[in-house]
Chains A and B, each alone.
Chain A
Amino acid sequence: GAGVSQSPRYKVAKRGQDVALRCDPISGHVSLFWYQQALGQGPEFLTYFQNEAQLDKSGLPSDRFFAERPEGSVSTLKIQRTQQEDSAVYLCASSLGRRPDQPQHFGDGTRLSIL
């Protein structure tokens, strides 16, 4: 079956531009997560949705980062006025239910490079 799909796979933007990253979770998955992975590091949590509700955004590094999941399916992570330190791989994951012991299924990520 289809896994988590992210687009674009690669994004290059100039400093100061706005970018939007898309995530299509596995159909029927209630929970959706965004993570940021710097080169050579483990992923770091950004934000969490349960259906359309954003229940945790404690990991968003600044108010330039905004995420939404308006219909409880597709999600978009938007970064405004990008900075060089925003360069990273952005990972989306989904899980079937609401329990913390349920595995998360990851997409291949979007590699963002800010020039």
Chain B
Amino acid sequence: GNSVTQMEGPVTLSEEAFLTINCTYTATGYPSLFWYVQYPGEGLQLLLKATKADDKGSNKGFEATYRKETTSFHLEKGSVQVSDSAVYFCALSDKGAQKLVFGQGTRLTINP
């Protein structure tokens, strides 16, 4: 079945550091890929998405590229801020079904 694997957390960085959170997936066909973020005390929010191979999703300085050859969708940001502290979830939805399959989440803490 479909699955998503994220790098284990927690991840702690200093402000202005470079961020990478790894995500790989297993799916039949060509799924749509998403990153969702959960800030402290808030609900899940869509951060970015990509729907086909080589697409790049971007938002709020975050980027992720849909890599079919490596079945990956790694999240990157060039310079993180304290306000980026949150839990990040990688997810996919198969073309044949709308339900999302999530990774286990990566808790990110940015220190000033």
Q: Which of A's residues lie within 8 Å of B, judged by CB?
A: 3-4, 31, 33, 35, 40-45, 48, 56, 59, 91, 93, 95, 98-109
Contact = CB atoms under 8 A, between A and B. Distances in A.
Interface of B: 4, 31-32, 34, 36, 42-46, 49, 51, 89, 91, 93-105
A100 B97 contact: yes
A93 B43 CA distance: 10
A91 B4 CA distance: 19
Contacts, number: 66
A104 B89 CA distance: 13
Given A42-B102, A42-B105, A104 B97 contact: no
A55 to B, nearest CB: 9
A99 B99 CA distance: 10
A101 B49 contact: yes
Contacts of A3: 43
B97 A108 contact: no
A101 B100 CA distance: 10
B99 to A, nearest CB: 4
B45 A106 contact: yes
Contacts of A44: 102
B3 to A, nearest CB: 11
Contacts of B46: 103-105
Given A33-B99, A93-B44, A100-B95, 8 more contacts: A33-B100, A42-B103, A43-B44, A100-B93, A100-B94, A101-B32, A102-B98, A103-B46
